[in-house]
A and B are shown apart, each in its own frame.
Chain A
């Protein structure tokens, strides 16, 4: 079945997530949709799957215009999707998950589990899956769960199969196996859309490549193109982020991390034996694809991760095992990755958010009373200093734009006596003007002698800020390289490949 998207446009308020995207996928073809995080790939696929309604444009299957009011329609038309976050019910068995929504029943509405099991077995035999139809999905490893998603789509006779970042959660071995499955599906005539930002995988399986950037198709490439070509297409010309930066005046090693491992709440090892140090007056940028342990690393640094092994020390003082309160009080500033979720209280005023992590003592609290005068003065100062565009300090933070919200977070963290600044994705969802300002303030902190750890998935940001770059992949450090390492080298490292000369720094 041939899939064609014509001029798909999807807007969210003022943001154009998809801007007149055209895409054609032939039967028996693996078509890669390549782009950075936030390029609009998933939005496009959600439009295709009926989860979003396009504002403009049309979807054609075998040259017939389709109208999908919901996923049910898309599925009936023969479109299947393997979601990045699996759409499986954890407490159901494989067979139940596969049959859900199109159950075959015996007389009286009883589920025909036998038929569902047979279906699962049949499909998994066809592709050599080895999936037990009666296993609970919750008990299965991630790779197998993904196969269940594939079986689910195939059991509905999907002729067009969308894989949305399918390798994000897979080990390399599982990734290789998935590639083989995709080739097999192609042989059987399925049209495959493979969404990814990993160059290696693209080159391995793609028949055609469409590169998307900032919601637009920016070009097509053939799988024979080199990694460098693909990377430059995907990332585009480097946005001129002019960060005025003097050479670092390096001081003593301040933050020393040794053998740090973090186990998350479902028992997975998300940071695996990581060791590094950051000197005073230095910015260490942690680069990597989202979900390779950077988030958990920063959370471990401020004591937010409960299951941590190894040691973290700051100026010789051991921080591992201490409470968040104590770590913050000892002079660690933290800009969390998701400011709406973890950094700000949306219903609080700017002033209140500015005292959020200093609610215990001086200067804002005296004898259990919030010193409103002091706070007001402080807030007025900081709003001016950090150029927060707001009607007043009593405005609720939830009403500010992303850039101004982030300035509030930064103002709060930078206005303490800092001995370490940890900033995760400091400019995510922030307008260009604010980005520049935020970068300037981070550099200023470093110039004042504060060791800084910046985590970013944006290569532009990493190269603009870093004195040294640490690349993480699957919970481990791929390498720590100088700040002027070329982008394509970094891109390869982010995919887990280490150029021989880049390993030490």
Chain B
């Protein structure tokens, strides 16, 4: 931090950017750009290829493979997680009373301090493991595996909302409105869930759809405003979070809307039996059908982004809105559609909360910070559907394990937030991670950090 001057050269992770300072001559200005691209990038194209210096021995295949692994994206993600867990461990150790007590006489008996550190950190992380994956202390497999199902239960809304945020990223938009969208979804789904009497199956479907549509429309406001007036979706979605919060708070305390009849608490009645998402593994587990819906959403998003023509247009708009516009794609409609779908997916997270996880009625805290967690999930999953699925499960494990850590070792659950946000910070800045682990800079162009710089369409 002592050196405020970033180097004049862009970091390897950055795109080569054309200098326009006095760049008077278009051909001259574009030529170096093209050359930078060509030299930076892997296969030397025919024609304008730069011959490799003859006296340099070509690296062995293994060396190349190793280089690709250590400079690739996957290793950065793994190292970011490791780094964040180390920081978490340091925090646990430093705030542990046993460690503090031992540290008082550190110079007399340093061993005590290390033992205390080890006990505190290992204890926390063992509790973490037992809370999120498998509990060895339980006699049978069914009870032992319960933590894993808890992880998946926590992961369900994270995956759904992460998909929503990630999809918007791919279209070049930043949906920070997860909280508001979840609240709207929860209210709509909850209202259908407790306020109507419908047959089994239909009730659930109607409730799920109501929630998703509500959230889609709420997010659609931001998309519509961006398309029509150019209002930046970041600001609009942030503000809509609070509008939704107060709207839902008002509805929750107003009899006849969401408030449970005969109650003075700002809380809804319990969901009707028919509206509740069925349990997947029987009553001893919390895992519910929402998880299947989240998997389904992952497949759907994968299909949309990678197979459908809509997704093709989405990605074109996200990568280069100008080229998309020139190719006849209606960029503004894509912004609206993307926000609608993004909102629906985030809405699914809200729905799974009220119809799956907390079916006894909800209050305005039902979003449980998932709207913001979803941003970190999407970033860690690099905005790809399967990446988000994996990241969602990882962060679900963090939550499940975090609660177990809190219960067993007294480590506050908030450490999960710290670890999560550190992971994202590290992932966003690969050069930093490389510097910490002294990894070589990528020789081949790194895949661009997808959402790191969202492109704006030129005003025309």
A and B: bona fide binding partners: yes
List residues of A whose CB falls within 8 A of some B CB: 12-15, 17, 37-43, 45-46, 49, 51-52, 81, 83-85, 87, 164-165, 168, 195, 265, 290, 302, 304-306, 323-325, 327-329, 334, 336, 338, 340-348, 352, 355-357, 359-360, 364-365, 368-370, 372, 389-391, 395, 398-404, 428-429, 431, 433-434
Instruction: Give the chain B neighbours of A369 by CB distance below 8 A.
Output: 307-309
10 cross-chain pairs, A with B, having the tightest CB-CB distances, nearest first: A38-B27, A12-B32, A13-B35, A389-B46, A401-B45, A42-B24, A357-B327, A325-B328, A399-B41, A84-B24
Instruction: Give the chain B neighbours of A39 by CB distance below 8 A.
Output: 25, 28
A334 pairs with B326, CB closer than 8 A: yes
Q: Which of B101-109, B128-136, B316-324 contacts A (4 or more CB under 8 A)?
A: B316-324
A368 pairs with B48, CB closer than 8 A: no
Bound Cα distance from A428 to B327, whole angstroms = 20
Bound Cα distance from A302 to B328, whole angstroms = 9
Distance of B331 from chain A, by nearest CB (Å):
10
> Given A334-B326, A342-B323, A369-B307, is A164 in contact with B37 using a C-beta cutoff of 8 Å?
no
Q: Which of B14-22, B113-121, B173-181 contacts A (4 or more CB under 8 A)?
A: B14-22
A-B residue pairs in contact (CB < 8 Å), sample of 22: A12-B36, A14-B39, A15-B32, A17-B32, A37-B27, A38-B28, A42-B22, A52-B19, A81-B22, A85-B20, A165-B24, A168-B24, A290-B26, A325-B330, A345-B324, A364-B309, A365-B312, A389-B45, A389-B46, A389-B47, A391-B43, A404-B47
Contact of B37 among A302, A359, A399 (CB under 8 A): A399
Instruction: Give the chain A neighbours of B322 by CB distance below 8 A.
Output: 341-342
Instruction: Give the chain B neighbours of A398 by CB distance below 8 A.
Output: 37, 41
Q: Does B438 contact A (CB under 8 A)?
A: no
A17 pairs with B37, CB closer than 8 A: no
> Given A304-B460, A343-B326, is A348 in contact with B315 using a C-beta cutoff of 8 Å?
yes
Instruction: Give the chain B neighbours of A83 by CB distance below 8 A.
Output: 21-22, 24
List residues of B whose CB falls within 8 A of some A CB: 19-39, 41-43, 45-50, 307-310, 312-313, 315-316, 319-320, 322-330, 445, 448, 459-460
- Which of A17, A347, A370, A429 gathers most chain B CB within 10 Å? A429
Known contacts A14-B48, A38-B28, then 10 further A-B pairs from the complex at CB < 8 Å, ordered by chain A residue: A12-B32, A12-B36, A13-B36, A43-B25, A83-B21, A265-B460, A325-B329, A348-B319, A398-B37, A399-B41
Contact of B323 among A302, A325, A343, A400 (CB under 8 A): A343
B43 pairs with A390, CB closer than 8 A: yes
Distance of A195 from chain B, by nearest CB (Å):
7
Distance of B20 from chain A, by nearest CB (Å):
7
A329 pairs with B30, CB closer than 8 A: no
Bound Cα distance from A403 to B35, whole angstroms = 12
Instruction: Give the chain B neighbours of A265 by CB distance below 8 A.
Output: 459-460
> Given A336-B326, A348-B316, A399-B42, is A14 in contact with B50 using a C-beta cutoff of 8 Å?
yes
B460 pairs with A306, CB closer than 8 A: yes
A85 pairs with B22, CB closer than 8 A: yes
Contact of B316 among A40, A165, A195, A345 (CB under 8 A): A345
B48 pairs with A360, CB closer than 8 A: no
Bound Cα distance from A328 to B328, whole angstroms = 7
Bound Cα distance from A398 to B310, whole angstroms = 22
Instruction: Give the chain A neighbours of B329 by CB distance below 8 A.
Output: 325, 359
Instruction: Give the chain B neighbours of A345 by CB distance below 8 A.
Output: 315-316, 319-320, 323-324
Distance of A14 from chain B, by nearest CB (Å):
5
**Quick one: closest B residue to A53, CB to CB?**
B8
Distance of B170 from chain A, by nearest CB (Å):
11
Bound Cα distance from A42 to B41, whole angstroms = 27
Bound Cα distance from A138 to B322, whole angstroms = 26
A329 pairs with B328, CB closer than 8 A: yes
Contact of A347 among B31, B47, B319 (CB under 8 A): B319
Instruction: Give the chain A neighbours of B31 by CB distance below 8 A.
Output: 12, 15, 17, 38, 429
- Which of A39, A359, A391 gathers most chain B CB within 10 Å? A359
Distance of A17 from chain B, by nearest CB (Å):
6
Instruction: Give the chain A neighbours of B459 by CB distance below 8 A.
Output: 265
Bound Cα distance from A368 to B24, whole angstroms = 44
Bound Cα distance from A59 to B310, whole angstroms = 56
B312 pairs with A359, CB closer than 8 A: yes
Bound Cα distance from A265 to B459, whole angstroms = 7
A359 pairs with B316, CB closer than 8 A: yes
Instruction: Give the chain B neighbours of A359 by CB distance below 8 A.
Output: 309, 312-313, 316, 327, 329
Bound Cα distance from A341 to B323, whole angstroms = 6
Instruction: Give the chain A neighbours of B45 by CB distance below 8 A.
Output: 389-390, 399-401, 403-404
Instruction: Give the chain A neighbours of B310 by CB distance below 8 A.
Output: 368
> Given A401-B46, A428-B30, is A13 in contact with B313 using a C-beta cutoff of 8 Å?
no
B22 pairs with A84, CB closer than 8 A: yes
Distance of B319 from chain A, by nearest CB (Å):
5
Contact of A346 among B319, B326, B330 (CB under 8 A): B319
> Given A343-B326, A368-B309, A428-B30, is A41 in contact with B25 using a C-beta cutoff of 8 Å?
yes
Distance of A432 from chain B, by nearest CB (Å):
8
Bound Cα distance from A40 to B308, whole angstroms = 45
> Given A51-B19, A345-B319, A359-B316, is A402 in contact with B48 using a C-beta cutoff of 8 Å?
yes
Instruction: Give the chain A neighbours of B326 by CB distance below 8 A.
Output: 302, 304, 324, 334, 336, 342-343, 357
> Given A13-B39, A324-B328, A341-B322, is A51 in contact with B316 using a C-beta cutoff of 8 Å?
no
Distance of B395 from chain A, by nearest CB (Å):
27
A12 pairs with B35, CB closer than 8 A: yes
B22 pairs with A346, CB closer than 8 A: no
Instruction: Give the chain B neighbours of A370 by CB distance below 8 A.
Output: 307-309, 312
Instruction: Give the chain B neighbours of A43 by CB distance below 8 A.
Output: 25, 28
Instruction: Give the chain B neighbours of A290 by CB distance below 8 A.
Output: 26
Bound Cα distance from A302 to B308, whole angstroms = 26
Bound Cα distance from A302 to B49, whole angstroms = 34
> Given A359-B313, A431-B48, is A51 in contact with B22 using a C-beta cutoff of 8 Å?
yes
Distance of A391 from chain B, by nearest CB (Å):
5
A305 pairs with B460, CB closer than 8 A: yes
Instruction: Give the chain B neighbours of A364 by CB distance below 8 A.
Output: 309
Instruction: Give the chain A neighbours of B27 by CB distance below 8 A.
Output: 37-38, 428-429
Instruction: Give the chain B neighbours of A346 by CB distance below 8 A.
Output: 319-320
Bound Cα distance from A365 to B50, whole angstroms = 38
Contact of B312 among A46, A165, A355, A404 (CB under 8 A): A355
Bound Cα distance from A40 to B21, whole angstroms = 14
Distance of A23 from chain B, by nearest CB (Å):
17
B445 pairs with A399, CB closer than 8 A: yes
- Which of B23, B28, B30, B309 gathers most chain A CB within 10 Å? B28
